[in-house]
Amino acid sequence: VGVGASRVRDMFDQGKKSAPCIIFIDEIDAVGRHRGAGLGGGNDEREQTLNQLLVEMDGFDAAEGVILIAATNRPDVLDPALLRPGRFDRQVVVPNPDIQGRQKILNVHIRRLPLSPDVDVKVIARGTPGFSGADLANLVNEAALLAARKNKRLVTMREFEDAKDKVLMGAERRSMVMTQKEKELTAYHEAGHALVGIFTPGNDPLHKVTIIPRGRALGVTMNLPERDRYSESKMEMKAKIAMIFGGRVAEEIIFGKDNITSGASNDILQATNKARAMVVEWGMSDRLGPLRYSENEEEVFLGRSVTQSKTMSDETAKLIDEEIRLLIDNAEKHARKVLKKNIKHLHSLANALLEFETLSGSEVNDLIKGKKIKINDDVDINSKKTSIPRSNQSKVKEKKIGLNPEPVIGS
């Protein structure tokens, strides 16, 4: 008891003796959380520490030569007394970096890596929207580890792509044993996602589709935006919900209604959450109008989030459910219309996935246009001198995918 307050006094005494200096407090919310949220009144140890911090800050003068800086990820739970003028009255928000920031951060982390000439930092930065500095550092480390496992002397662009897939979609689980029927169902499911995404305006460009299990998913369809995005339109949200239902609808069209599986459980959860947010949070329902109908709001109590229920009439709740159902039904109908119209492409893409297991967005587009798919397989040479793939060490497979080719399972 009293140790925190004593340490605060010592810290400020040292700062004044070392002036001019900067005192930096990381995770200020650990001691600066809103007072009165816990039990124990004024004798709470955390409140004593905060009170001592406030007292010391009040004793500051412009001539002291001491600057106080603090950082937190939870500015919403800080005590209002900390944010008053004369204390932490200047707030600097540090968001995730934009594309230029990501490029500069990547340049810092790759300085000591032996890079192949094909590595383009701009392309990596463009393909990692929403990544923080720590995420980018992890991406570079993963790429270096992948190159080391392959006994490569240089880190190539392929390692960065594989590392990005691992960070975004999870590690591959090639040891997982799947039956032929499960592979076919997964292939049609992911092909349904990909085709609805391609043929529905408003979706991000297709980056990659795979039936190799990653993380907790049996297959993954991944779309990446062409630029950093800070908001989303109603059309784009409807397109995304339709794409989410593409997998389940494809299962139903190919295997019948009685053979649909539980694999779309996460898809249904994502679509329902997005449709509900459109109706109750973002005012995108014509019948309900631009009002917020939030059923639950969170409050911090004893360091935990406590949900408080808000009153809502039965008529309003029923109307909200009807509007959510309308968005979901329209998205499902759109997905079914797109897949029935492009049933030939659905079969072709599913069979290509059964053969190659992973296809990039450009390869899927080539397949839809009837072109040949080219898959480059880098072959490492067991040599102590170098294992960099050379032109004569690379094999190219060319396959013309028809409607029912004999699938080659495995890799």
CA 10 to chain centroid, in Å, comes to 42
Question: How much helix, strand and coil, in percent to the nearest 5, is found in the chain?
Answer: 50, 15, 35
DSSP 8-state secondary structure symbol assigned to residue 175 = T
Strands (DSSP E) contained in 85-139 are none
3-state secondary structure at position 147: helix
3-state secondary structure at position 355: helix
Residue 303 falls in which region: left (phi positive, over 0), alpha (psi -120 to 50) or beta = left
**E strand or H helix at 246:** helix 234-255
Question: How large is the C-alpha radius of gyration of the chain?
Answer: 28
- Which residue of the set 190, 323, 332, 355 is catalytic? 190
Contact 201, 235 (CB under 8 A): yes
Residue 234 β-bridge partners: none
Distances (CA, A) of 207 to 164, 251, 369: 11, 22, 17
The CA distance from 304 to 282, in Å, is 26
The CA distance from 169 to 155, in Å, is 21
The CA distance from 253 to 340, in Å, is 8
Say how many residues make up the chain. Answer: 411
The CA-based dihedral angle spanning residues 79, 83, 85, 88, taken in that order and rounded to the nearest 10 degrees: 130
Neighbours of 297 (CB within 10 A): 10
Residue 105 falls in which region: left (phi positive, over 0), alpha (psi -120 to 50) or beta = alpha
Is 236 a catalytic site residue? no
The CA distance from 4 to 269, in Å, is 45
The CA distance from 205 to 208, in Å, is 9
Q: Catalogue the active-site residues.
A: 190
